[in-house]
Structure 1
Amino acid sequence: MKILITGSQGFIGKNLVAELNNIKEKKSTCAHISSELSILEFNRNTDVSLLDEYCKEANFIFHLAGVNRPREEKEFMEGNYGFTKDLLSLLKKHQNACPIMISSSIQATLDNPYGKSKKAGEDLLLKYSQETGAELFIYRFPNVFGKWCRPNYNSAVATFCHNITHDLPIQVNNPNVDMTLVYIDDVVKELLNCLNISENKTENYYKVSSERKIKLGSIVELIESFKESRKTLQVPKFSDPFTKKLYSTYLSYLPEDQFSYPLKMNIDERGSFTEFIKSSDRGQVSVNISKPGITKGNHWHHTKNEKFLVVSGKGAIRFRRVDEPSKVIEYFVSGNKLEVLDIPVGYTHNIENLGESDMVTVMWVNEIFDPKRPDTYFEVV
């Protein structure tokens, strides 16, 4: 299969090309797409003469090229209608009635220059489909967001993510405006489904099912909370798919010299204890470093529970039920054999470094530490 992608260097185009390359290299699988495919990329940097050859060879066309922020108003029609007309003329020349997907916009129903130009491109394709029998997929996309989207151009999400990560001001004229958004990975997945041409298509207009409507102010609040999370250590609530996708998008706009951030290490003569990640409903993760010969702990909990994982060094973790003063349970642990130890409630416990080097332990607890309700009681094992 030879797939022609116009606008291959645009936001959607880059992501689609990347996933098709993954399929070619078998880093990603799609049951209905063979890895034996050719990607014919056409963009502003491509020799125009190649379009004629591509239109002759193509088995499927993703028509993603378009104009949405021109210098002059007339460029809307030239880019969104004129180029589509040129594309179809070349297909007719070669009598190539391969399926075509076109990237349109929800603004195609509006009375503005951009919307009119997108609607004109749609109508041209509908007429072409009726004349040639070519299968047609018209997608009227809402606001698409995700990695590689150009900020300060035509995406509020991209602009907010870029400006907030770079400590630049943002402008929100009306936080109560409803935004309809769709994530780039969902768009790409939907477009790849178009290649399953064995299915009988009965419609021309399509949409991505995972659209999300949310107020502009709520988007800003979420993005600002992502930035603050480096200080609070609280990760977002990923049970909400939109928050998960928006956070991934936010990270893609981090300045390249700010991928890392420091943690507060609580250091004393015994070693250190450092909080790493906190979650309102999943507890927190910390890293404990113990010096040789050092024992830490000797406490128990009513409800709070923990998991310990020694990743470097060796030691012993000891338990005793608080109502059984003489029965001590001992587990030997080592970074050479990774195993998790559950710390049951009602057992006082400690951890001792038995090695000659620092022992590093990853510790998870099911709730964020609350100094007003620590649920931690000292008692020697």
Structure 2
Amino acid sequence: MKVALTGAEGFLGWHTRVLLRALGWPDPVLIGRADLADAAVLADRLRGVDRVLHLAGVNRGEPAEVAAGNVAVAEALARGLRRCAQPPKTLVYANTVQAGNGTAYGDSKAAAAAILAGAAAGCHLVDHRLPHLYGEHGRPFYNSVTATFCRVLADGGEPELRDDRELRLVHVTDAAAALLDAPPAGPWDAAMPALRIGVHALADRLAGFAATYRGGDLPPLTDRHDVRLFNTYRSHLFPAGYPIPLVRRADHRGELVEAVRSHGAGQAFCSATRPGVTRGEHFHLAKVERFVVLRGRAEIRLRRVGGRGLVRFPVDGAEPVVVDMPTMWAHDITNTGDGDLLTLFWTNDLFDPARPDTYPEPVAAA
């Protein structure tokens, strides 16, 4: 299926592109501001597209700017669709549960839906009213209260709490799966299972993760929202919060390093890697994965999916450290020493070959 996206650089847009990569679907057509400004250009860009995801919008700013921005981008997209000789079969709109709630944001999102409903004959509109989204690399003080709490905790602070209210949280990858109508072939869920939690309870849960993880211990991860909230918190620690030093204990019997202290469950294993050999070259959507080099020297490299820059960690078994792989970052480890490399790997779940949550991706890709 060929997909086009507006708002591809935003929070939901990036997660949607990562999910497309995990699904193995073709690279999406990215619709930018310049394309939206010219209906003829936009119609050409949409040629051969099966599904358009309209994710672009304005949710912060002066009320008049928010209202005008959401309506203007919907009108621009509608003009381009009407110019298509063969319009896409499906137009998916990332709307909000706040649509029509009397605010500039909610009313403009509802108005945009009405504009898109008449965008092009033969183009079916799917209007997804999304709740509060959270997930990795959300923009603090902008995208969500979850991102804000995670950023404050990652910086060593305490979230500022005011009025308490119940939130309905959905992980952004589940929302992307719903927008794409993705098959149930991975850790996503297009049914968008929600976590209902109060603001204070959310702050307490995240603060508990932060306190446990501060020394490298892994907190209990009892359900899928725990895993995803923990991954969201970890995304705000990376890369500045790594490596995490480990304590080396020694007596007459020798030395011991507690590489993994899990307050929940998981799977640990060791590998021996010959000099010059690289392991990995993949990314995960939900899996929490830890690398600890016990003997030898290596370089761990990571690249955010869709990005270009590499993060590198030289590691040595003589000074053991923890590097936990952030979700949605391609990663590998290369033996840079002269002898065999002994590495301990741990993941929070047991490997299931039917749902491996492991997607090939070269780290050094352009």
User: TM-score, structure 2 length as denominator?
Assistant: 0.65
Aligned pair partner of 1:156 in 117, 133, 145 = 145
**Deviation digits for residues 221-253 of structure 1 (CA, Å, limit 9, x no counterpart):** 121112211356542222311111100111111
Describe how 1:49-68 pairs up with structure 2 within 5 A.
49=38, 50-68=41-59
**Deviation digits for residues 134-185 of structure 1 (CA, Å, limit 9, x no counterpart):** 21111111111111211111311111111210124432112x3111111122
Q: Are 1:270 and 2:253 counterparts?
A: yes
Q: Which amino acid aligns with 2:126?
A: F
Aligned to 2:286: none
Deviates more, 1:275-284 or 1:88-97: 275-284
Q: How many pairs align?
A: 269
Displacement, 1:269? 3.0
Q: Which amino acid aligns with 1:166?
A: D
Aligned to 1:113: 104
Describe how 1:52-91 pairs up with structure 2 within 5 A.
52-70=43-61, 72-91=62-81
Give distance in 2, aligned partners of 1:182 and 1:126.
25
Identity %: 26
Describe how 1:326-337 pairs up with structure 2 within 5 A.
none
Give distance in 2, aligned partners of 1:116 and 1:18.
30
Describe how 1:142-153 pairs up with structure 2 within 5 A.
142-153=131-142
Aligned to 1:137: 126
Q: Which amino acid aligns with 1:97?
A: P
Describe how 1:204-353 pairs up with structure 2 within 5 A.
208-231=191-214, 234-280=217-263, 282=265
Displacement, 1:96? 3.8
The answer to whether the Cα contact below 8 Å between 2:247 and 2:257 also exists between their aligned partners in 1 is: yes
The answer to whether the Cα contact below 8 Å between 2:79 and 2:119 also exists between their aligned partners in 1 is: no
Displacement, 1:255? 4.5
CA pair 241-38 structure 1, distance change in 2 beyond 3 A: closer
Give distance in 2, aligned partners of 1:73 and 1:152.
18
**Deviation digits for residues 296-316 of structure 1 (CA, Å, limit 9, x no counterpart):** xxxxxxxxxxxxxxx87xxxx
The answer to whether the Cα contact below 8 Å between 2:95 and 2:113 also exists between their aligned partners in 1 is: yes
Displacement, 1:15? 1.5
CA pair 45-253 structure 1, distance change in 2 beyond 3 A: farther
Displacement, 1:19? 2.7
The answer to whether the Cα contact below 8 Å between 2:219 and 2:264 also exists between their aligned partners in 1 is: no
Aligned to 2:115: 124
The answer to whether the Cα contact below 8 Å between 2:11 and 2:143 also exists between their aligned partners in 1 is: no
Q: Are 1:177 and 2:131 counterparts?
A: no
Displacement, 1:9? 0.4
Aligned to 2:15: 15
Give distance in 1, aligned partners of 2:244 and 2:171.
27
Q: Which amino acid aligns with 1:10?
A: G
The answer to whether the Cα contact below 8 Å between 2:78 and 2:119 also exists between their aligned partners in 1 is: yes
Deviates more, 1:269-278 or 1:148-157: 269-278
Q: Which amino acid aligns with 1:243?
A: D
Query: Per the alignment, in what secondary structure is the counterpart of residue 252 of structure 1?
Result: helix
Give distance in 1, aligned partners of 2:343 and 2:15.
39
The answer to whether the Cα contact below 8 Å between 1:5 and 1:61 also exists between their aligned partners in 2 is: yes
**Deviation digits for residues 21-46 of structure 1 (CA, Å, limit 9, x no counterpart):** x2xxxxx346xxxx4x3521123476
Displacement, 1:124? 1.8
The answer to whether the Cα contact below 8 Å between 1:7 and 1:44 also exists between their aligned partners in 2 is: no
Query: Per the alignment, in what secondary structure is the counterpart of residue 182 of structure 1?
Result: strand
Give distance in 2, aligned partners of 1:231 and 1:69.
33
Q: Which amino acid aligns with 1:83?
A: V
Displacement, 1:281? 5.4
CA pair 192-47 structure 1, distance change in 2 beyond 3 A: closer
RMSD: 3.3
The answer to whether the Cα contact below 8 Å between 1:105 and 1:142 also exists between their aligned partners in 2 is: yes
The answer to whether the Cα contact below 8 Å between 1:265 and 1:274 also exists between their aligned partners in 2 is: yes
Give distance in 1, aligned partners of 2:7 and 2:267.
44
**Deviation digits for residues 101-141 of structure 1 (CA, Å, limit 9, x no counterpart):** 01111110411111000110112223447xx2321111111
Query: Per the alignment, in what secondary structure is the counterpart of residue 258 of structure 2?
Result: strand
**Structure of greater Rg:** 1
CA pair 284-230 structure 1, distance change in 2 beyond 3 A: farther
Q: Which amino acid aligns with 1:85?
A: E
The runs of 5 or more residues in structure 2 that have no matched partner are: 185-189, 271-293, 296-341, 347-366
The runs of 5 or more residues in structure 1 that have no matched partner are: 23-27, 197-206, 288-310, 313-359, 365-381
CA pair 87-189 structure 1, distance change in 2 beyond 3 A: same
